[in-house]
Amino acid sequence: MVIHTVGHARTYEMEALLKLFRPAERFDFSSEPEIPAGEVLSAVLADGHLTCVTRIGREELCAETDVPADIPNNLLDRTLSSLLYPQLCALTGLRPAWGMLTGIRPVNLLRKFRERTGSLAAAQSEFRDVWHVTEEKIQLASDILAVQQPILDAAPENGVGIYLSVPFCPTRCKYCSFVSNSVAQMGRLIPDYLQCVHREMQLVSQIIDECGLRVDSVYIGGGTPTAIDLYQPLDWIDRYLLPEPGSLREFTVEAGRPDTITRENLAVLRQFGVTRISVNPQSFQDHVLKAAGRPHTAQDAVDKFLLAREMGFSNINMDFIAGLPEDTVQGFRGSIDRAVALSPESITVHCLSLKKAADFYQSLAMPEPAAVSEMVAYAQETLTQAGYRPYYLYRQKNMAANLENVGYAKPGFESPYNVMMMDDSQTILGIGAGASTKVLGGRRGIERLTECKYPYDYLARFDGLMQQKERDLRALLKK
């Protein structure tokens, strides 16, 4: 299909809209004066007049409207979408669950609408009438908003979250689109990586002290942090970053892959006061795990979960993915049922997202949307009945069925870090390669600092990166 634009440059926004209907397709682009032949999504802006055309197969729909000559981009996006979206629905027969919302944080948007309109009902109407979000998703976003409010309210005013990135994994899962480097191939970088992380942590600690900030949560993610020896980084966090004992709202380590979890590394996590870990089965179907390139069995995940319980971890999360190759609705239901029987404190249900960085990207078609929708609906119903509440949600590009990832937790076991980070409600100071830093304030309300994604790049450019980071953080954080 061709995306055709004349008189404006909203190509990216039109592509995002089209991807709601054709998530895996690659599009061509044209800005020739004439609408190209064949399947097309066209928006022509000329002399204060916007004409939108969608042609799919042999059918074509056209809509037009007048717009102010100086229409700002956000309003133009909305006008374009309001003309093109109904055409796409009519010609494809599809109705995306999140309507024409393309952003990754619908709950955050609902909160902003509530603030602007003054009531939840008015915000919900805007979701329904302007953005065409389905009732089911409006309810889900509203439920999450209610669960999040006390967590947002309890945040200390000068609180910051710390994210330490450990971008190493024992091997790479086939669906992975994160920055994760296999220990076998890149393990030689780990000693230098840790030394740089140590220096960056000292810098961050110094700035936290200077600016009168307080660490509210620590989250060590990756990668798979437990793929490496965490004793040193945990010791440094303890020395440089932790406030008085017991004042952190959360201290999470993603243990993630069960094949990295041992009695010894769990003992180190306990020693340094880690309060929450993730043990991620992703599926309880062995053939699905094998197809996904995960070298562990369902029983391994159960065994490591029980080991963590035995060692005193009372807040454990489990991740699952709906839409993995070779999984079925029946198989996924079995995975969720088995998870509920184990009763972890939180369960996060992702939908498979195929990105270019994943091994699967070239070889795999997107999973059947109806099947993924059924999986997600089953998870929501089963987990809710079992006493879990949805508490955070985000969407990604190229997600199966254009749905969402949802974190469910038993009351009181929600992860404040996930809520604050996803809502852009707190400054997050990232440390390490692939860790993003975002600082509340500035013209946009939140400023994101440039990331360095890859460990070798992080090591090679470390001194310059730190000089820049120090300048940026001082400028943004010192009031």
Name the site residues for ligand SF4 (rule: CB under 6 A): 169, 172-173, 176, 178, 180, 222-224, 256-257
In the bound complex, what is the minimum distance in angstroms from residue 228's beta carbon to ligand SF4? 12
Beta bridge partners of 46: 49
In the bound complex, what is the minimum distance in angstroms from residue 355's beta carbon to ligand SF4? 11
Give whichever of 138 and 291 is closer to ligand SF4, judged by the CB atom: 291
In the bound complex, what is the minimum distance in angstroms from residue 320's beta carbon to ligand SF4? 13
In the bound complex, what is the minimum distance in angstroms from residue 173's beta carbon to ligand SF4? 3
Burial annotation 2-16 (CB, 10 A radius, 16+ → b, else e): bbbbbebebbebbeb
Give whichever of 327 and 374 is closer to ligand SF4, judged by the CB atom: 327
Give whichever of 165 and 426 is closer to ligand SF4, judged by the CB atom: 165
Give whichever of 13 and 327 is closer to ligand SF4, judged by the CB atom: 327
Give whichever of 145 and 176 is closer to ligand SF4, judged by the CB atom: 176
In the bound complex, what is the minimum distance in angstroms from residue 223's beta carbon to ligand SF4? 5
Give whichever of 364 and 440 is closer to ligand SF4, judged by the CB atom: 364
Q: Maximum CA pair distance of the chain?
A: 71
Give whichever of 131 and 332 is closer to ligand SF4, judged by the CB atom: 332
In the bound complex, what is the minimum distance in angstroms from residue 259's beta carbon to ligand SF4? 9
In the bound complex, what is the minimum distance in angstroms from residue 180's beta carbon to ligand SF4? 4
In the bound complex, what is the minimum distance in angstroms from residue 164's beta carbon to ligand SF4? 14
Give whichever of 73 and 182 is closer to ligand SF4, judged by the CB atom: 182
In the bound complex, what is the minimum distance in angstroms from residue 170's beta carbon to ligand SF4? 8
In the bound complex, what is the minimum distance in angstroms from residue 221's beta carbon to ligand SF4? 9
Give whichever of 183 and 204 is closer to ligand SF4, judged by the CB atom: 183
Label residue 78 exposed, middle or buried (CB < 10 Å: 0-12, 13-18, 19+).
middle
Give whichever of 40 and 173 is closer to ligand SF4, judged by the CB atom: 173
